[in-house]
Amino acid sequence: MLVYNIENLVLACASTLRVLAQPERGEERRFFQILCSFLWAYAVCAGIYNYESSITEGHTLVDLLAVLPFLFLTVAALLPMARQVEIVPAASKRPITLFIDNASPIFYTLALLALGITLVRSHFYIGITAIIVALAVYGIRTTTLQSRYVQAQQALQVARDRLEEMSLKDGLTNVANRRCFDQILELEWNRAIRTQEPLSLLLIDIDYFKNLNDRYGHRYGDQCLVEVAAAMQSTLPRSGDLLARYGGEEFAVILPATKSNGARAVA
């Protein structure tokens, strides 16, 4: 009876922690409120019922106490929920919420360990089995969490690289943008100073581009920029050469280790 009452109190206290950790509103908080109320009512009613059953014989009116918590649970579950349900993002959860979410599965392992240690003397094989299962569950959970963490880190790195690549490309022509041009030009300039190699730069401007836009529209002008960028990119076979959109209808090409004659040929 003592073990049973302790179990009910532990469950009730654990559900209370879950309620305290939840945000002020939301479907999840309502669920834990109903669960907490049911477990506390069940702990009290079961405690009274167990005590009365141990000192009396036969069935009495106290037997109804075992039914009342379940009746409350049924009524609470059937009550309509509030229409507005607040969705709380994971980033805004309280520290106690994150702690309980992460620590709750460990309690299962601790409970199995405690059970196994208690039973080792009287039931050796059952106790050892409980300990082994507890360690196995903890190991599987730790491995699973570590795998998910590594996968999340890899996905985050891929997303970061993709975002970095997008931030350095022109959205229309799909060539390097001004930001990428400035970074590469500074790097190549410093490298040319160290290695004493030539560095060439081409600046290209499309003449009468404003007239093109005024006559045929901006959509036609955008298509023209895309085709011009593709044509210029096809003339740069070296991977170290960089074509960038410098401005509206202006482009720039960085030619590392290229003398003036080579730059004129590319131009």
Model pLDDT, residue 14: 84
CATH superfamily of 178-266: Reverse transcriptase/Diguanylate cyclase domain (3.30.70.270)
Say which residue, 212 or 97, is predicted with more confidence.
212
For 246-266, what is each residue's pLDDT tens digit?
988 999 999 999 999 999 999
pTM of the model: 0.49
Q: Residue 107's pLDDT band (boundaries 50, 70, 90)?
A: confident
Rounded-to-integer distance, Cα 258 and Cα 244, Å: 17
Do residues 244 and 176 lie in contact, with contact meaning Cβ atoms separated by under 8 Å?
Answer: yes
For 176-230, what is each residue's pLDDT tens digit?
999 999 999 999 999 999 999 999 999 999 999 999 999 999 999 999 999 999 9
**How many CA atoms are closer than 13 Å to the CA of 103, on its beta-carbon side?**
10
Q: Residue 87's pLDDT band (boundaries 50, 70, 90)?
A: low
Q: Compute the average pLDDT of residues 126-137.
A: 89
For residue 18, pLDDT over 90 is answered with: no
Do residues 42 and 8 lie in contact, with contact meaning Cβ atoms separated by under 8 Å?
Answer: yes
Model pLDDT, residue 89: 55
How is residue 160 written in tokens?
């970061």
Single-letter residue type at 120: V
- What residue segments make up the domains of the chain, in order of their start? 2-163, 178-266
